[in-house]
Structure 1
Amino acid sequence: MSTAKSSSKFLRPAVLALCLTVGGHALAGAAPDTENGRYALSPTGEGVLRLDTRTGAISTCNNSGAGWACYAVPDERAAMDTEIGRLQADIVRLQAENERFKAQLAEREPTVPGKIEEPLPKSDSLKKSEPKVAEAERKIEIPLPSDRDMDRMMSFLERAWRRLIEMANRVQRDVNGKI
């Protein structure tokens, strides 16, 4: 009996440890399955990083209160490849459109003959005339306004001054009436 007692002494803690280990995993939830080597798992501080060896997709797996949950990590490379493909398609479309416009332009007859072959005369319509310069003194002469221009200016200033005075009087009446 002493052998049975000594073997049960060692067997009981081993069985208890095995039950606790298996029971602990069962209570925590099942870890992500590797599906016959399809997934490569790497532990992280918060859970497990899962690499799909067939597709190259990466997911982060965490054990929350409800069990294990895996979320795909955004693949910036796929997004860039998609954008590059879209831009390349746009380039091809724009090149074809450019060629079509060039062909349409080549089919047209020139509307103004000689415009392309002959250079246009050099004349600048926006160029202002030179101010009058006295030959001996080399001074710029500025023409003075005429009497008509002066009368128009004085009339404008008189009307503006009268309107300003009338407006000040109206404001003063409004303020006096409200106080």
Structure 2
Amino acid sequence: MHYLTFMIPVWLLYMLLTGNWAINNIITGLVLAGLVALLVRPVKRPFTWHRLPDALLASGIYLLRLLWDLLLSGLQVARIVLTPSLPIKPGIVAIPSECESDLGVALSAHAITLTPGEMVVEIDDEGIMYTHMLDASNPDEHVEAAQRTRRDLLSRIFV
């Protein structure tokens, strides 16, 4: 039953994004929503109304934070590309996700990979995300603060 509660919003989102309410598109959307549910394997969680405002607020903050990180990283990458003499040190950095759910780890890795100049190349069984960074010369304070913010927001959204 909890698969249906996951599939219906995914299907509705698909229908709203395509804007095509023909029967073949409705069936295609249902099949795709079912496949997404099988891939994601949603965990049944009790729903409480009193937690909804905090989860919505955390979702908004997470989205704004993601957009801000995208903007700043895009500017940093543009600066590196336009000024090739800048001393950069590309490398792979291990970032502990510290998220409690697989969905939290996946969304955290997605946010990192969306950011220009960074890409998660592997996630191990303990949730350590191995991330290639265009400039890994001083990753400790930036990575720790950014991951702590992501983890806190995702735990408010998905707990």
**Where on the TM-score scale, by shorter chain, does this alignment land: which range?**
under 0.3
When normalised by structure 2's length, the TM-score is 0.22
Higher relative contact order (CA 8 A, sep 6+): 2
Q: Which has the larger radius of gyration?
A: 1
When normalised by structure 1's length, the TM-score is 0.20
